């Protein structure tokens, strides 16, 4: 296991909430980053990075320089972003006002390329999306337990909806992609959805009705926070739950292939401590933060590996390799974040991004290990911190009590998951 320091860190917003009982100069780092703007989610494609903030902004960055190139000001919270639209320069986003928006990031000062508004009920939020059928159909999961389908080739209304599969809000939808390792990416008609009701449903969306489309139901029995396909043929499904556990399934079987149990975090921390003590990092052991929540998984088609990112409320993180018989620590991430990490995105075989509640976006490189980072620092090339040139005024979003990761950027953000 190797310790990683971030290559570059971007401060997306500098809007901390000062304490009423303390001057700003006396604030500790934990208190300083407890309130203020958050980065809710991130998406990237070669050349561009997009991130959504809790103040309503959608920010675009140049991937090479990590400099801010444009900001879209919005009056709602974006809940998910994706560049997996099969159209270069097109970014898709859902928001808590129930809208689905396509942005052509080349036309930065123009209105969105396409936008579907007022299509859902006034009290229905669009929480998640996935684009399938090779860029033609977008599936949107809602806070009312429904999955709506949109034909992104036209600006018409809802193409159809699944309304019976879930009884609570749909937290994630994902189309199955092909498992090839080439540059050409395609999708199948298979869609998996996860919900607060503890079920993951697998659909063949080419079927004419919802009843005939359901091919499998996975009884996860815990609120689902993240899920996705993985495996050589993308035939397997991982589910991360609100109880901070992980379950692995085959898409065609309802029996869980691997349940890591409610003590999963204890197992992760035990593996982390043992590997850290063995590595000793130059002969000395330094304290590490216990992992307190699961962020998400990523399937590397080149390496044929499933990676799991976990985090601590202090901002440290650990990257684990998920295998048939358990998990193995690969990297310990330190020195980047100062608060809860909300999401991560893999940019290449070695580089990935993390974003969090400290308003930071960090770039990491697996090939740059701790010794390399030390050499860079001694040579006057310490990891770069990029600070925005202007401040944003206004009231920061309120955060509820508790220390956990608030999974859904919705109007009920004051609810603690613990």
Residue 391 is assigned to a structural domain of this protein: no
Kind of pairing between the strands at 187-195 and 170-177? antiparallel
CB atoms within 10 A of CB 32: 18
Dump the DSSP string for 78-98: EEEEE--SSSTTEEEEEETTS
How many residues are present in the chain? 418
pLDDT of residue 412: 35
Predicted confidence (pLDDT) per residue in 200-223, tens digit: 999 999 999 999 999 999 999 999
Model confidence band, residue 278 (pLDDT cutoffs 50, 70, 90): confident
Residue 397 is assigned to a structural domain of this protein: no
pLDDT of residue 15: 76
Predicted confidence (pLDDT) per residue in 152-188, tens digit: 998 889 999 999 999 999 999 999 998 554 445 789 9
Domain of 138, CATH number, reads 2.130.10.10
Q: Rounded to whole angstroms, how far apart are CA atoms 316 and 356?
A: 11
Model confidence band, residue 18 (pLDDT cutoffs 50, 70, 90): very low
Q: Residue 163 corresponds to which tokens in the numbers above?
A: 């309304």
pLDDT of residue 388: 62
Owning domain of residue 334: 2-16+33-386
* Residue 386 clears pLDDT 80, i.e. is over it: no
Q: What is the mean pLDDT of residues 378-392?
A: 53
Residue 164 is assigned to a structural domain of this protein: yes
Least confident of 162-176, 195-209, 234-248, 369-383: 369-383
pLDDT of residue 371: 43
3-state secondary structure of 269: helix
* Residue 405 clears pLDDT 80, i.e. is over it: no
How far is CA 163 from its chain centroid?
A: 25
Model confidence band, residue 284 (pLDDT cutoffs 50, 70, 90): low
Q: Rounded to whole angstroms, how far apart are CA atoms 132 and 189?
A: 7
Q: What is the mean pLDDT of residues 140-147?
A: 98
Residue 275 is assigned to a structural domain of this protein: yes
Residue 414 is assigned to a structural domain of this protein: no
Q: What is the mean pLDDT of residues 79-106?
A: 94
Q: What is the mean pLDDT of residues 337-342?
A: 95
* Residue 333 clears pLDDT 80, i.e. is over it: yes
Residue 395 is assigned to a structural domain of this protein: no
Query: How many CA atoms does the CB half-sphere of 360 hold within 13 Å?
Result: 23
Q: Residue 329 corresponds to which tokens in the numbers above?
A: 């620590």
Looking at the structure of the chain, the number of domains it has is 1
pLDDT of residue 369: 58
pLDDT of residue 286: 64
Residue 348 is assigned to a structural domain of this protein: yes
* Residue 399 clears pLDDT 50, i.e. is over it: no
pLDDT of residue 23: 38
């Amino acid at each position: 296991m190797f310790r990683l320091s971030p290559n570059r860190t971007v401060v997306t917003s500098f809007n901390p909430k000062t304490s009423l009982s303390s001057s700003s100069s006396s604030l500790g780092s934990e208190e300083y980053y407890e309130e203020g703007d958050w980065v809710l989610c991130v998406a990237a494609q070669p050349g561009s990075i997009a991130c959504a903030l809790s103040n309503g902004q959608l920010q675009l960055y140049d991937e090479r320089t990590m400099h801010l190139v444009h900001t879209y000001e919005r009056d709602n919270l974006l809940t998910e972003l994706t560049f997996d639209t099969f159209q270069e320069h097109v970014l898709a986003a859902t928001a808590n006002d129930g809208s689905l928006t396509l942005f052509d990031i080349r036309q930065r000062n123009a209105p969105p390329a396409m936008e579907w508004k007022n299509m859902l009920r006034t009290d229905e939020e669009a929480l998640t999306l996935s684009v399938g059928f090779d860029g033609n159909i977008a599936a949107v999961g809602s806070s009312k337990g429904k999955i709506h389908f949109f034909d992104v080739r036209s600006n018409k209304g809802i193409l159809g909806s699944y309304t019976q599969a879930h009884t609570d809000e749909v937290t994630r939808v994902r189309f199955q992609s092909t498992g090839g390792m080439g540059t050409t990416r395609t999708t199948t008609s298979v869609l998996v959805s996860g919900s607060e009701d503890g079920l993951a449903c697998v659909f063949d969306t080419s079927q004419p009705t919802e009843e005939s489309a359901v091919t499998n139901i996975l009884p996860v029995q815990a609120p689902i926070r993240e899920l996705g396909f993985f495996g050589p043929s993308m035939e397997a499904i991982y589910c991360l739950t609100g109880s901070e556990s992980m379950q692995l399934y085959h898409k065609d079987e309802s029996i869980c292939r691997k349940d890591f149990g409610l003590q999963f975090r204890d197992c992760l921390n035990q593996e982390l401590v043992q590997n850290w003590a063995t590595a000793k990092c130059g002969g000395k052991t330094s304290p590490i933060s216990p992992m307190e929540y699961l962020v998400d998984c990523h399937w590397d088609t080149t390496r044929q590996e499933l990676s799991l990112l976990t985090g601590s409320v202090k901002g440290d993180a650990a990257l684990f390799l998920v295998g048939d018989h358990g998990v193995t620590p690969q990297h310990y991430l330190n020195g980047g974040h100062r608060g809860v990490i909300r999401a991560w995105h893999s940019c290449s075989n070695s580089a990935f991004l993390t974003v969090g509640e400290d308003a930071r976006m960090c770039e990491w490189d697996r090939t740059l290990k701790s010794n390399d980072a030390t050499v860079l620092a001694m040579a006057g090339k310490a990891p770069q911190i990029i600070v925005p040139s202007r401040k944003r005024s206004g009231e920061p979003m309120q955060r509820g009590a508790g220390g956990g990761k608030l999974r859904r950027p919705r109007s009920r953000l004051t609810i603690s998951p613990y």
